[in-house]
A and B are shown apart, each in its own frame.
Chain A
């Protein structure tokens, strides 16, 4: 009788839990949908990612195949967005360029988030380390981003991998600073003191208890870096100091387009619009995530722009 009763109770409890979970999920969904910035941003990002992933299978041209006879054809039935100054199909170049540009942006965001997190956590936790690491970050942040990137790519050699490394180094301090300030707040909490009193190791405290609390500002910052990295890569490639030709990237296409800007507006306008759309989508998403995780910052004010 007693066992049956407790069984029934347990059943009831799990049902309640389930409804609560459902409720919670519905609320989260509603919050997501009512967050217009977040919604618009996510839709744009999903569409452009789909464009980059699926696009190459839908276009019928080769991004490298030149056809001198068909140079600089305006947008039309045969070439939807026209051809470039080597007679390559522009739509195809833009689709493959999306893979390069977004790929570079994403890798940079990932690298700087990972490295910045480690640096930020340890310099926030160990005061002695803080002095050294933050002075280095200050120094790196004082050098204007694009100049640092140009110098690094010039030194490492013009390769896509090196562009990613260079931009990663440029953006690491911006993550490290934010993770550090979050760490400084969390490490003063009572539960960290309790962990220490129980004899938890520093590694355990840092990674199991502090790190999760720094994740939301980290994600917001990484989203903005994603956007900034796409802009900076485009600027570098546009200067001829980024992704090497003939690989397509949005910046490279703009570089070719600049040479023929008086004859072929389409080579500037189409990749340009895609860059703007992608960056806007990411900025919206970043602002949206921030509003979601931190309702106090209703002024969704972006950090300074580094160009």
Chain B
């Protein structure tokens, strides 16, 4: 298990190296010169040259990368060109809304997906199964931002139950916090649940046909226990994989959803930075989110062994 862990973490190094090079190159193939962007059009050529030197933009590209990556490894993502704060500060001040949104959306996705998936699997081929699968097909074709817009039209404009824009931090009270997050979280979670439902169903179907299920049933194990303890736990690995993948999807789906609902999270930070051409921030945010995504998948991998002893044994 420990050897496996070490191997798994070592395998991340080349991935993260490539990620950093790709992100660095994308920002540095930009036609515009950051120095003249910062100083504006009225700057003299001398000023621009001085700032280029100050920012290290006159160095050869591999040296610029080395400087940048050593700073990054020390936890310094650079300074924003336009906001009077460092990139890491900007990220952390925008983190809470995105995190709240992603967690709430994931909870909603699971609350929808697991019961629906189990029901569909248990009643395979019936109208209930077909309805669930139909909705799941529909869900996979709707981008979450579109569902968000439809929800705004329905709940916000027609029924006026919930606010359709804005954000209140957790300190403003739990209900106030949640009130603003419900619509965005439902639009994200419902879409994510489509995929998880499908996975739950197919994974459950596979387990339900196993011999040990028949054995447990003939021993007289109660239905409830049979489904949740014997079937679901064994069917959970593929479901967990999809959850890990959709969590990454949630964080990025949040980018679009946040701008719709005017939530001041990571998504809005990156969109604003794109508009202002604040390349340091774009670079830092993309790198940060990618690392989060990579580590979530690492945790999912580790969780495999915790949930399923068979995996633990195999790895030894």
Contact = CB atoms under 8 A, between A and B. Distances in A.
Interface string A283-307: 1100000000000000101101111
Contacts, number: 153
A155 interface: yes
Contacts of A301: 198-199, 202
Nearest to A302: B140
Given A268-B153, A272-B150, A307 B290 contact: no
A139 B145 contact: no
Contacts of A154: 30, 274, 277, 279, 282
Contact of B17 (A139, A143, A283, A307): A139
Given A155-B27, A299-B202, A306-B249, A258 B260 contact: yes
Contacts of B311: none
A276 B274 contact: no
Contacts of B23: 143, 151
Nearest to A275: B146
B300 interface: no
Interface string A130-168: 000001101110111111101110111100000000000
Contact of A152 (B26, B260, B279, B285): B26
Contacts of B246: 304-305
A305 B293 contact: no
Contacts of A156: 29
A302 B245 CA distance: 13
B61 to A, nearest CB: 14
B252 A155 contact: no
Contacts of B10: none
Given A151-B23, A155-B26, A265-B153, A143 B286 contact: yes
A148 B252 CA distance: 10
A123 to B, nearest CB: 14
Interface size, B (range)? 35 or more
Nearest to A268: B149
A254 interface: yes
A151 B27 contact: yes
Given A254-B149, A258-B149, A304 B242 contact: yes
B237 interface: no
B182 to A, nearest CB: 18
Contacts of A276: 138, 141-142, 146
Contact of A283 (B16, B141, B146, B255): B141
Contact of A261 (B141, B153, B249, B259): B153
Contacts of A234: 143, 145-146
A234 B286 CA distance: 20
Interface in B270-314: 270-271, 274-275, 277, 279, 282-283, 285-286, 289-290, 293-294
A235 B145 contact: yes
A135 B16 CA distance: 10
Interface size, A (range)? 35 or more
B15 interface: yes
B251 interface: yes
Contacts of A157: 31
A152 to B, nearest CB: 6
A142 B270 CA distance: 18
A173 to B, nearest CB: 11
Contacts of A269: 150, 153
A281 to B, nearest CB: 9
Contacts of A307: 143-144, 249, 252-253, 256
A280 B139 CA distance: 9
A239 interface: yes
B17 to A, nearest CB: 7
Contacts of A284: 137
Interface string B233-275: 0000000001001101101110110011000000000110011
A275 B195 CA distance: 19
A74 B66 CA distance: 58
A261 B156 CA distance: 10
Q: Which 5 A-B pairs have the closest CB atoms?
A: A139-B18, A144-B252, A280-B141, A279-B141, A304-B245
Interface of B: 14-19, 21-23, 26-27, 29-31, 137-138, 140-146, 149-150, 152-153, 157, 195, 198-199, 202, 242, 245-246, 248-249, 251-253, 255-256, 259-260, 270-271, 274-275, 277, 279, 282-283, 285-286, 289-290, 293-294
23 contacts: A138-B14, A142-B15, A142-B293, A144-B251, A147-B289, A148-B26, A151-B286, A155-B27, A156-B29, A234-B145, A234-B146, A235-B145, A240-B275, A258-B149, A261-B157, A265-B157, A268-B150, A279-B143, A280-B141, A301-B199, A304-B195, A304-B242, A307-B253
Interface of A: 135-136, 138-140, 142-148, 150-152, 154-157, 227, 231, 234-235, 238-241, 254, 257-258, 261-262, 265, 268-269, 272, 275-276, 279-280, 283-284, 299, 301-302, 304-307
Given A143-B23, A240-B275, A254-B149, 6 more contacts: A135-B15, A140-B18, A144-B293, A147-B252, A148-B22, A150-B282
